Chains A and B, each alone.
Chain A
Amino acid sequence: MTVSEFLDVIAVSLLFTGIWAQIGTYVMSKVHVIIVQSVLLSVYAIYLGIITSSIDLVILGILTVTLRGFLTAYILHKKLPERGNMFREISTGIPSITILSVILLVISLAIYHEVFFPFTGSNIGGIGFAMIIQGMLLIASRKNKIAQFSGYIEEENAIILLSLGIVPLPLIVEISVLLDVLALVIVSAVLISETLETENLKEMIG
């Protein structure tokens, strides 16, 4: 397997985790998606860092797996109520959302191919772009805060993959760290909240 093929396999696996995040109502599976996705992205960054002799990318990979794959996931796991494995979202539209997610996946890949690809020449960027859309769908379509949060993490991972695919930004490590800090702030906001479902409160209508 060539270097390029290995990176392609990881990127496609990341795309599958994006679809996995849309399926099912068990909240624990969302935490698993965060872990698997972060580990895959970390492997991608470290491997790319080694073959391009870029210490920044190696650091990025280590930070991704430590902050996102371990710390954030651990805190979320702690937040789940007892018998967390059985804890489910209150949602009725999952089958429709899953179908919508597949349709959006095809559309986003087509848009990338038509609009971005002629200028960037990167296929990996297309996977990053499709994952951004999947992350946004997860945030917009769910009411459970952990499911929405996993959408945010997916979007964050997708942005990093997009950057690695098109052109590694000089500030990629700083950006990644900041995104993780923000993720932890979000997690802390979930942690002090009484309920894990978003609410339609009377004072916030109109």
Chain B
Amino acid sequence: MIFSGEYYVYFILSIPVLTSSSYFFRHFKEIGIAGAFVTAVSSIILLLAPTGVYGPFFLNSLNRYLIFTVSFVYLFSSIFASGYHKKLGESKNLRLHYSLINLFTFTMLFTLVIDNFGLMWIGLEATTASSALLLIVERGRNELEAAWRYVILVSSGLAIALISVLLIFDVYRHLTITSITSVNINNPLLEIAGVTALIGFGTKIGIFPMHTWLPDAHSQAPSEISAMFSGILLPVAVYCLYEFYSVTAVGPVQGIYLVFIFASLIFVALVMPSQTQTKRMFAYSTMENMSIALLGLITGGIGFLGAILILLSHAFGKSGAFYSSGNILEIYGTRNITMIQGMKKRMPYTSSTLILSSLAVTGAPPFATFIGEFLIIYQLISMGQIAGVIILVISLFIISLSVIYKVSTMIFDGNEYVNKEEPAISQILVTFATVFMSLSITFFYLGGMII
């Protein structure tokens, strides 16, 4: 690296902060996209940097991959928004929207790199503050209701997570993550901290039964924001919960986490077949993906690698699914699955991205989600968690079948008399890019680049 790692992290963090001032400039879209491009390129260099402490920041085997996904989904969403919101012109709403996307990205990157539990909590809470208004760019009645539910439920949940910070501080008398994780203290207060972290961060992640905001916010948000919520915000929350879990995993804490994770999977398997709207269906799929990723992280071993593969592939695959859903909404004017037919002829490019991204998020080979799920199942078997494996496999089967069936009906039914229509070329290219990125994770893994 040209200069020290600490200043390099400061550099990456400063880019979205600077570009958030784009509100005051006429070329706010171009400024936003240029900033996102620089952040994405810089994140590749950070991906190659050694793990360790860099001043007030730190890089470990998990957060550097998430910095990469946050930066790239930020770039893709900035480009996608420029076409998706073209009817808003250069309105104040859209200027504010772009500025907040930059600030939202900054809060996520800050949460990932900061080496302090208190500041990590502040960062994650700030993601709520910066993203609440992103849901209501067009000020629709549904959007306003979804934004309200999002902000009131998530902020209430995260307030519970603050109890964990308090209890960890009470035990260790400091909040530096790298120092705390290197010391092993067995204190009953940490068990309580582990449970309050699960309730608090679990609300943000969408763990059952604290998930109620998630399908509403994901389905009503503009598609680039749904992609950012699902692809990167929720993984950032998973990362936070994992870091808290790492220092509070004493006594029955792991068992409690497993109960909630499997309950989430069963819940998604029960509601998925009855879903009638595209984005809501993918929102529930996000709950499933996050539950499995968390499962991999807390079981450790080879499951940890499985979780990383799922988080990487999911970030791009789910972004592709939400961008595709946005393209469909633009052409068909509805989210209702039964009213969307004949996509194969009417939207041939979006049909391809929709089916590929659906395969990516449901864990079909050759996508890395398949490898990740396989590794996590392998880890569960080696731990003797046979009941868990059975629940996981049955849930995955039902969820995958439901999603693929619904997507297939939209694409292959009713193709008789339809004319070809597609959204802006930038939206199609971005959607293809995300699907390509999701697929390429498999080859990065096979090439030994993800360890």
Q: Which of A165-206 contact B (CB under 8 A)?
A: 166-167, 169-171, 174-175, 178-179, 181-182, 185-186, 188-190, 192-194, 198-199, 201, 203-204, 206
A29 to chain B, nearest CB (A): 19
Interchain nearest-CB distance for B215 vs A (Å): 8
B151 at the interface (CB under 8 A from A): yes
Chain A residue numbers with a CB within 8 Å of B146 are 204
A129 to chain B, nearest CB (A): 8
In-complex Cβ contact of B144 among A119, A169, A193 (8 A): A193
Q: Are A206 and B271 in contact (CB under 8 A)?
A: yes
CA distance A175 to B151 in the complex (A): 17
How many whole Å from B430's CB to the nearest CB in chain A?
25
Tell whether A167 pairs with B275 under 8 Å between CB atoms, given A136-B156, A182-B155.
no
Convert B109-128 into 0s and 1s, putting 1 for each residue whose CB lies closer than 8 angstroms to a CB of A.
00000000011011001101
A162 surroundings in chain B (CB, below 8 A): 163, 166
How extensive is the interface on chain A, given as a class? Answer: 35 or more
Measured in the bound complex, the distance between the Cα atoms of B95 and A44 in whole Å is 42
Q: How far does the alpha carbon of A60 sit from the alpha carbon of B159 in the complex, in Å?
A: 17
Interface of B is mostly: helix
**Interface CB pairs A-B, < 8 A, 24:** A116-B192, A119-B170, A132-B160, A139-B156, A152-B159, A162-B166, A166-B170, A167-B166, A170-B118, A171-B118, A174-B118, A175-B122, A178-B122, A179-B159, A182-B128, A182-B129, A186-B132, A186-B152, A193-B144, A194-B141, A194-B144, A198-B145, A198-B149, A204-B219
Nearest-CB residue, chain A, relative to B147: A189
Chain A, residue nearest B165 (CB): A169
Contact in complex: B148, A167 (CB < 8 Å): no
Q: If A156-B159, A171-B119, A175-B118 touch, does A189 touch B133 (CB 8 Å cutoff)?
A: yes
Mask of B163-183 contacts with A, CB within 8 angstroms, 1/0: 101100110000100000000
Shortest 7 CB-CB contacts between residues of A and residues of B: A171-B118, A182-B129, A204-B216, A193-B144, A119-B189, A167-B170, A155-B159
User: Which of B125, B132, B215 is in CB contact (< 8 Å) with A189?
Assistant: B132
As a 0/1 sequence over residues 126 to 165 of chain A, the CB contacts with chain B under 8 angstroms (1 = contact) are 0000001001100100000100110110011001001100
A166 to B277, CA, bound (A): 47
A8 CB to nearest chain B CB (Å): 20
From DSSP, what is the main secondary structure of chain A's interface residues?
Answer: helix
Residue of A nearest to B271 (CB): A206
The answer to whether B145 touches A181 (Cβ under 8 A) is no
- Residue B220 at the A interface, CB < 8 A? yes
A106 within 8 Å of B by Cβ?
Answer: no
User: Given A201-B142, A204-B219, A167 and B192 touching (CB < 8 A)?
Assistant: no
Question: How many angstroms between the C-alpha atoms of A41 and B271 in the bound complex?
Answer: 44
* B159:A139 contact, CB within 8 angstroms: no
Residues of chain B at the chain A interface (Cβ within 8 Å): 118-119, 121-122, 125-126, 128-129, 132-133, 136, 139, 141-142, 144-149, 151-153, 155-156, 159-160, 162-163, 165-166, 169-170, 175, 187-189, 192, 215-216, 219-220, 271, 274-277, 280, 335
- Nearest CB of chain B from residue A27's CB, rounded to whole Å: 16
Q: A188 to B149, alpha carbons, bound, how many Å?
A: 14
Chain A residues whose C-beta falls within 8 Å of the C-beta of B215 in the assembled complex:
204, 206
Shortest C-beta distance, A120 to chain B (Å), equals 7
How far does the alpha carbon of A136 sit from the alpha carbon of B148 in the complex, in Å? 16
* Chain B CB within 8 A of A3 CB: no
Residues of A within 8 A of B142 (CB): 201, 203-204
Q: How far is the CB of A68 from chain B (nearest CB, A)?
A: 14
Chain A residues near B136: list those with CB within 8 A.
189, 192
B169 A169 Cβ-Cβ under 8 A: yes
Say whether B170 contacts A120, CB under 8 Å: yes
Are A135 and B156 closer than 8 Å at their CB atoms?
yes
Known A156-B159, A192-B139; 10 more pairs at CB < 8 Å: A162-B163, A163-B162, A167-B170, A181-B129, A186-B151, A189-B133, A193-B144, A193-B148, A198-B149, A199-B141
For residue B97, give the distance in angstroms from its CB to the closest CB of chain A.
14
B145–A119 touching, CB < 8 Å: no
Q: Which residues of chain B come closer than 8 Å to A155, judged between CB atoms? A: 156, 159
Is A185 a contact partner of B118 (Cβ separation < 8 A)? no
